[in-house]
Structure 1
Amino acid sequence: MARLEGYRAVVTGAGSGIGRAVVARFLTEGAKVVAVVRKTADAESLSAMGAVAVIGDVSQYDTAERAVAAATETFGGLDVYVANAGLWDFHRRMEKQSPEELARGFDEVFGVNVLGALYGARAAVEALRASGGSVIVTGSNACVLGGGGGVLYTASKFALRGLVMQLAKELAPQVRVNGVAPGATNTSLSGPLALGQAGKELNADADRMAVMQQHMLLGRVSEPEDHTALYVLLASRTESPYVTGAMLMSDGGLTISI
């Protein structure tokens, strides 16, 4: 039996990587999905998969508002909001950035990684209370230790972990709030325009991927699909009814290996 039969979901950052894999898994598990993307080509591709696509920037509140409206108007409600969209900073060190770059980079990285999730929760809270649903964010091993990125990325992921914990308190008992924290993953995750990294992709550098693999206890860098079962678990009211405020590690042992 499909584990999310009849569930209605929003997934942001759905154009590639973990977000796209979550959309595909949710559809397979019987859910109806609104997929939030930045590009028209991604919207068309996801529509062909059976999702309803919304184009927008998650750092703008109206994107979350439109995504929730698409779910409630098309599907009759919302059961889970997956705030997955994110930016990486390619380990950019503080002293390699001017004060102006730090300010612009902070606004862009936190706007997507933290404010995007907060906006999603705010836009979705009424619908999620009505359904007894949940919010799921995509964290990182950088939620719990340094070294998973540069100063901006790591700070944003620590903030995201705090956001999960605080929202779990504020939205209980009607809405559960949790996260999945992947480690090194073979995705095209890009960086902020403010740091000149918008055209870069995490998995485009074979040497970088090889270094990441050396730290993985399980001997390989993960694929996006390796993490999707945890999103299904946290979305399900029957499989994780007593889980809230949690950040589930899915990092191949990276956190305990360094």
Structure 2
Amino acid sequence: MGWLDNRVALVTGGASGLGRAVVRRFVDEGASVGVLDVSADGLDDLEDELGNSVVTIAGDVTRLSDNETAVERTVDAFGRLDVFVGNAGVFDDNVTIAELPEDDEALAKSFRDLFDINVLGYLLGAKAALPELVETNGRMVFTASGASFAPDGGGSLYVPSKHAVAGIIRQLAFELSPTVSVNGVAPGYVPTDLSGIDSLERDEGGLIDESEFDPSVHPAGIVPTPDDYAGAYVLLASEENSRPMTGTIVRANLGRDVRGIGAVSGRALEFVTDGLDGA
């Protein structure tokens, strides 16, 4: 018996990375899963791997109609919807405010491109899933981040977007209680290919490469995989195992909270030093 036997979930951004690990684990725990993702190739590969346990929908989380189609296709395939997982996201390649585009239009486009996916996409998915979740007293689970609580987990666009996700979780938990439970998972470092946004025109990789990650600076002392985080989503998707929880964000951040942020980061110190030069 699995924790999600006979449950039906919909996961956005589930064709790769952390989302794919969540989909696999949900299926292992007995769930049937709808997957909404922009990558048709990734979805085809997921279907080849998991077969009839999944139904895939190619679409854009920033369109309400695509989210509604994903809900409809999932319910048509499996008869109900118990869990919505908002997970699709993009990264800002650690861009600082000084490095943001100078042009008004370019700056606004970079902001919209990231916030439309990381924030609006979650709201649209939740809105589309809500009528079905009301019928099943269902659950919403959102991918937050260590950057939902502290700086230095991204740049000047990504970190505010993930703070907004924490606000979505708390507000929807307040609005939808007691009918629908709303919680989140805040992973720490995840060695996965999180897409950037083209409008920033940055060439460097968005996340720390696994070979550059030093596990000794975190109390957990491990280099985690996407699979390591999937269990937290299973917990929050399982009514039996997280019934008292709503408005909760599980902080799976390798023990960073007990370590503290510590010294000023290298990038921050560099800008402070630059600001003093010539003063």
- Tell me if TM exceeds 0.5: yes
Q: Of 92, 95, 102, which residue of structure 2 is paired with 1:92?
A: 95
Q: Of 235, 241, 244, which residue of structure 1 is paired with 2:243?
A: 241
Whole-angstrom CA distance in 2 between matches of 1:229 and 1:214 = 23
Structure 1 match to 2:229: 227
User: How far did 1:17 drift?
Assistant: 1.1
Whole-angstrom CA distance in 2 between matches of 1:26 and 1:15 = 14
| TM-score, structure 1 as length reference | 0.94
Taking only aligned residues, the RMSD between alpha carbons, in angstroms, comes to 1.7
- Pair 123,202 (structure 1): closer, same or farther in 2 beyond 3 Å: same
Structure 2 match to 1:147: 152
Structure 1 match to 2:191: 186
Structure 2 match to 1:66: 69
Question: What secondary structure is seen at the aligned counterpart in 2 of 1:15?
Answer: coil
User: Are residues 1:161 and 2:173 paired?
Assistant: no
Structure number, greater radius of gyration: 2
Cα deviation code 1:140-193 (max 9, x no counterpart): 000001110001100000000001000001111110000000001110112112
Question: What secondary structure is seen at the aligned counterpart in 2 of 1:202?
Answer: coil
User: How far did 1:254 drift?
Assistant: 2.1
Question: What secondary structure is seen at the aligned counterpart in 2 of 1:68?
Answer: helix
Unaligned runs of 5+ in 1: none
User: Are residues 1:57 and 2:35 paired?
Assistant: no
Does the aligned pair in 2 maintain the 1:191–1:199 contact within 8 Å?
no
Whole-angstrom CA distance in 1 between matches of 2:203 and 2:84 = 25
Whole-angstrom CA distance in 2 between matches of 1:214 and 1:101 = 39
Whole-angstrom CA distance in 2 between matches of 1:198 and 1:170 = 41
Whole-angstrom CA distance in 2 between matches of 1:65 and 1:80 = 15
Does the aligned pair in 2 maintain the 1:190–1:202 contact within 8 Å?
no
Question: What secondary structure is seen at the aligned counterpart in 2 of 1:225?
Answer: helix
Task: Specify the code of the residue in structure 2 equivalent to 1:233.
Answer: L
Structure 2 match to 1:18: 18
Kindly, what percent of the aligned residue pairs are identical?
A: 40
Whole-angstrom CA distance in 1 between matches of 2:202 and 2:67 = 25
**How many pairs are equivalent?**
255
| TM-score, structure 2 as length reference | 0.87
Whole-angstrom CA distance in 1 between matches of 2:69 and 2:201 = 29
Segments of 4+ moved more than 4 angstroms: 197-201
Whole-angstrom CA distance in 2 between matches of 1:80 and 1:168 = 14
Unaligned runs of 5+ in 2: 262-279
Structure 1 match to 2:2: 2
